[in-house]
Amino acid sequence: MLELRNINKYYNPGTVNEMCLFENFCLKVQNGEFVSVVGSNGSGKTSMLNIICGSIPIDSGSIIINDADISNMPEHIRQRRIGRVYQNPAMGTCPTMTILENMSLADNKGRTFNLSRGTDKKRVEYYRERLKTLNLGLEDKMNIPVGSLSGGQRQAMALLMATMTPIEFLILDEHTAALDPKTAELIMQLTDKVVKEKKLTTIMVTHNLRYAVEYGNRLLMMHQGVVIIDKVGAQKDAVAIDSILEKFNEISIECGN
Amino acid sequence: MSAFLSILRGILEEGLVYAIMALGVYVTFKILDFPDLSVDGTFPMGGAVTAVLILAGVPPILTLLISFLAGAVVGIATGIIHVKFKVRDMLSGMIVMTALYSINLRIAGKSNLAIFSQETIFDNAYLDRVIPEAFHPYLVVSILLVIVLIMKILLDVYLKTKSGYLLRAVGDNDTLVTSLAKDKGTVKIIGLAIANAFVALAGSIFTQKSGFFDISTGTGTMVIGLASVIIGTSIFKKLSVVKATTAVIIGSIVYKACVAVAIERGMQASDLKLITAVLFLIILVLSSDRKRRMKVNA
């Protein structure tokens, strides 16, 4: 279980631009939940992910995973249990390294990076099989640099790499936002498949309301650092896009947009 | 031997010595994307350490290893200043470079030390016994070639290890290194250690070849290294068969050839730094990737 307990987060504290994002923010995510998070810009969605991953510090409160407080754990240590895919497809891969080298890197997550051979020849077939599941023909281009792939191909690789080793949590930060509709659809299907296969506890931030409604078993809407809609299981299944859109309009009018 | 051959040999010798340094700069500049200025202090430090050790009777071969390790320590220092104290990359290098000027004077005791009459890796009783007299003019080039090849192969092999993969990843996309549950700072420190170790080794070899240590030899080291890296990688941009490390070594030799041509054309030896700077400027203007690389990381 992942829990955020009484999180307080201010931006620019002590200046005229001081802005309170979270005040006593609490959230519990049960193991195996697939949470879709929607909300307007500045509502704190990405900040929440950054707080969970340790990319930004919190002012007070605690982050708890399976009863252990990880609030002071450095970002890279937390990543042992977390896989993360970013909005920018370039963030999840190394552009100057080949597909094969990228796969080898991802495969070694959680172990030591010592002076043994970077690519284990015996694993190459396994990488090829994994790449085949993407249906993008990447398995035939294993020796070309990832930088020469398209955004969609890179994002597919990033997803594959983030979920290659045993992890517990998958953090998706608008990971289809930079892709064309068709590729976005493909990446969403791949995501859903891998989440179900590996039984990952997933938090997905998205601006695509249809994805938020279609995928996952819990839906959150955030607004100004507060969760304003939280639908789980059967309740979520009953939610229609229109009703969310309505709520969206409501909060937008409040803000004067 | 004709004058031309003698010049050619001089270019090769100089080029090969600086090639080892350029390999180090390649690690920081191209792989880590870290403009490391500390090499201007590391290069003469390798020389200072070597001169003092040789005068103290330490076997010349051993001074190579000790200089290499001393360079690694400098790299770690630069890395810690950057990573732990969060000082900008270029400033961390400057701090270390400035400190090294005094440290080098402390190590050597004065601003220059001669080791002309001492045994070096190029001139010792063993070589005199084993190598026939006729081969002696080519001895320095041959020894340098062997050392350069060993260092190049070592670096190539390292870059293909798991640790080497991580080093390449950190310069490319350090977010991925964090995602792989590794501390990107540590990886950067390792890279700087390797780079400065190579540079100090080059300094040691330079001193043994020229027969003296001089505090001023370090000035412009980074510029020479960068020039070699950029020349090499630009020449072989289209030829992916040629490894980057090979390209850098050739770049270093080409660079020294350019300098030699400038001096042949009537420039004075004292104009060397001016030639270095102007050549570097020309190379930067001609190579297109400078815009992308000249960013300063926070």
A74 and chain B: CB distance < 8 Å anywhere? yes
B180 with A74: Cβ contact below 8 A: no
Q: Decide: A218 and A232 in contact? Cβ < 8 Å.
A: yes
The whole-chain average pLDDT of chain B stands at: 91
Residues of A in contact with B176 (CB under 8 A): 91-94, 105
> Is pLDDT above 90 for B85?
yes
pTM of this structure: 0.91
Structure confidence at residue B288 (pLDDT): 64
Domain count, chain B: 1
Q: What is the pLDDT of residue B294?
A: 46
Q: Give the span between the Cα atoms of B38 and B43, in whole angstroms.
A: 9
Q: Which domain holds residue B176?
A: 3-293
Q: Do B181 and A76 touch (CB under 8 A)?
A: yes
Structure-token pair, residue A89: 């497809």
Q: Which of B156, B165, B187, B289 to mutate to test the interface with A (most CBs of A within 10 A)?
A: B165
Residue A116: which of B161, B166, B168 has the nearest Cβ?
B161
> Which residue does chain A place closest to B158, by CA atoms?
A115
* CATH of segment(s) A2-255: 3.40.50.300
DSSP string, B197-261: HHHHHHHHHHHHHHTEEEGGGGTTHHHHHHHHHHHHHHHTSS-TTS-HHHHHHHHHHHHHHHHHH
List, as own/partner pairs, every contact residues B230-239 make where C-beta atoms lie below 8 angstroms and the sequence separation is at least 24, other chains included: B230/B283, B230/B284, B230/B287, B230/B289, B230/B290, B231/B255, B231/B283, B232/B22, B233/B30, B234/B283, B234/B286, B234/B287
B73, part of any domain = yes
pLDDT at B295: 43
| Element of type H or E holding B104 | helix B89-108
Q: Do B165 and A104 touch (CB under 8 A)?
A: yes
B180 at interface of A, judged by CB pairs closer than 8 A: yes
Percent of chain B at pLDDT > 90 equals 73
CA distance B101 to B143: 29
Q: Is the separation of the CB atoms in B249 and B225 below 8 Å?
A: no
Residues of B in Cβ contact (< 8 Å) with A83: 179
Cβ-defined contact of A117 to B176 (cutoff 8 Å): no
pLDDT average, residue stretch B236-253 = 89
Sign, Cα dihedral of B205, B209, B213, B216: negative
pLDDT at residue A41, as a whole number: 86
Distances (CA, A) of A18 to A12, A14, A211: 5, 6, 34
pLDDT attached to residue B290: 45
Nearest to B175 by CA among A95, A141, A231, A251: A95
Give the per-residue pLDDT at B271: 85
A74 contact residues in B (CB cutoff 8 A): 183
Q: Average pLDDT for residues B14-37, to the nearest whole number?
A: 96
Burial of B264 (0-12, 13-18, 19+ CB in 10 A): exposed
Q: What is the pLDDT of residue B134?
A: 83
Q: Please state the rounded mean pLDDT for residues B115-127.
A: 90
Mean pLDDT, chain A, as a whole number?
A: 91
Q: Is B292 on the interface with A (CB under 8 A)?
A: no
Answer whether A110 touches B (CB < 8 Å).
yes
Give me the interface pTM, i.e. the ipTM.
Answer: 0.90
Indicate whether B298 belongs to any domain. Answer: no
Q: Distance (Å, rounded) from C-alpha A13 to C-alpha B121? A: 61
Question: Could you tell me the CA-to-CA distances from B59 to A220, B43, B205 in Å, in that order?
Answer: 71, 20, 13
Q: Which of B78-87, B164-173, B184-193, B288-297 has the lowest mean pLDDT?
A: B288-297
Min distance B167 CA to chain A CA atoms (Å): 10
B182 touches A at CB < 8 Å: yes
Task: Determine the residue among A76, A144, A161 to mutate to test chain B binding: the one whose Cβ has the most chain B Cβ atoms within 10 Å.
Answer: A76
What letters, b where the CB count within 10 A reaches 16 and e where it falls short, cover B35-61?
bbbbbbbbbbbbbbbbbbbbeeeeebe
Q: What residues 139-178 of chain B have any CB closer than 8 A to a CB of chain A?
A: 158, 160-166, 168-169, 172-173, 175-178
Predicted local distance difference test score (pLDDT) of residue B253? 96
What confidence score (pLDDT) does residue A255 get? Answer: 62
Block residue for tokens 């020479």: B224
Report yes or no: B102 at the A interface, CB cutoff 8 Å: no
Whether the CB of A113 is below 8 Å from some CB of chain B: the reply is yes
The owner of tokens 């517990």 is A168
CB B161 to CB A118 under 8 A?
yes
CB-CB under 8 Å, B183 with A116: no
Q: Where are the beta strands (DSSP E) in A92-207?
A: 169-173, 201-205
CB A96 within 8 A of CB B167: no
Predicted local distance difference test score (pLDDT) of residue B298: 37
Residue B234 maps to which CATH number? 1.10.3470
For residue B296, the model assigns a pLDDT of 41
Mutate to test the interface with A, among B162, B168, B175, B183 (most CBs of A within 10 A): B162
- Predicted confidence at residue B34, as pLDDT, reads 94
| Chain A residues touching B178 at Cβ < 8 A | 75-76, 79
What is the band of B5 on the pLDDT scale with cuts at 50, 70, 90?
A: confident
Q: For B93-105, write each residue's pLDDT tens digit.
A: 999 999 999 999 9
The pLDDT of residue B289: 54
3-state SS assignment for residue B196:
helix
Q: For chain B, how many helices (H) and strands (E)?
A: 13, 2
Tens-digit pLDDT profile for residues B142-190: 999 999 999 999 999 999 999 999 999 999 999 999 999 999 999 999 9
> Per residue of chain A (257 residues), what is the pLDDT tens digit?
899 999 999 988 888 888 888 999 999 999 999 999 998 888 889 999 999 999 999 999 999 998 899 999 999 999 999 999 999 999 999 999 999 999 999 999 999 999 999 999 999 999 999 999 888 999 999 999 999 999 999 999 999 999 999 999 999 999 999 889 998 999 999 999 999 999 999 999 999 999 999 998 999 999 988 999 999 988 888 888 888 888 888 877 766 55
Q: Does the distance separating the beta carbons of B183 and A94 come in below 8 Å? A: no
d(CA A242, CA A257): 19
